[in-house]
Structure 1
Amino acid sequence: MNKLAKFAAVGLGAVTASVVLAQPAFAVNFIRDIGDGTVRYTDDTNQMCLQADNTFGTAWVEVAVSRQSGSGSPIVIRDDNVGHPGATCRVLNVLENATYQAEYRSYWEGRSTLIRGVFHFTT
């Protein structure tokens, strides 16, 4: 292999490695079942939507979002299936590439129990 071909091969390898290593962070979009409803997060718009299941009887879901570090007041979003169809959405004022904790509660009167849980997500 001549010098020019070696130089081109090394240069192409360096460019390929830099493109692979410098990939942008992927958006974290998710839909999650939280007992008696769902929570959906869209990273591009920082929007979180909750929707209680449309079942016989009253159902509601609630999520309290806070920084995993514990700083700041939690952002609370709540949705129920009484009086309005569809989801309740809110744009979250979040930091990029930060980890958040979402504590959720959900209730359906047909079962008459409260479901609680926690999940984490990174923006």
Structure 2
Amino acid sequence: MNPLRTITAGVAVAVASVILAQPALAASFQRDVGDGIVRYADPTNEVCVRADDTTGTAWVEVTLTRPGVIGRPIVIRDDNIRHPGATCEVLTAFENATYQADYESYWSGRGTVLRGTFRFTT
């Protein structure tokens, strides 16, 4: 095969791959936080918190802050008694913003609060 044709075909395939590629949704996640989950959907910039649907009372509270940025934290709380399902909040920050999530979760069967922290980027 002619080297020029090979190069032209390779460039055409590369350009087509870039044009047809779907946008990356690498920031979306679902994370277990003890007695519930925290879920982030990148396409909608929505964070949802859901306490486990279990015997007894369970709740999860997540406080979102932006490290190094002054401002009010976003607090999302969900429980399985008064609010079955998830409680959600849309983040209005710019793309590629880093958040720190400090969470607490509780289940009455255990009787103690679990705590933890993780970071994610929108």
TM-score normalised per structure 2: 0.81
* 1:1-40 map, 5 Å: 5-16=2-13, 26-27=24-25, 28-40=27-39
Shift of 1:99: 1.9
Write the letter of the residue equivalent to 2:3.
K
Aligned to 1:107: 106
Q: Which runs of 5+ in 2 are unaligned?
A: none
SS at match of 1:94: coil
Q: Deviations over 1:13-43 (max 9, x none)?
A: 4455567789776212111110111111110
Structure index of larger Rg: 1
Percentage of pairs with the same residue: 53
Q: Deviations over 1:96-118 (max 9, x none)?
A: 12222111111112211111111
Higher mean Cα deviation, 107-116 or 12-21? 12-21
Distance 1:42 1:58 in 2: 27
Higher mean Cα deviation, 8-17 or 108-117? 8-17
Give the total of aligned pairs: 120
Aligned to 2:52: 53
Write the letter of the residue equivalent to 2:62.
V
Backbone CA RMSD of aligned residues:
2.3
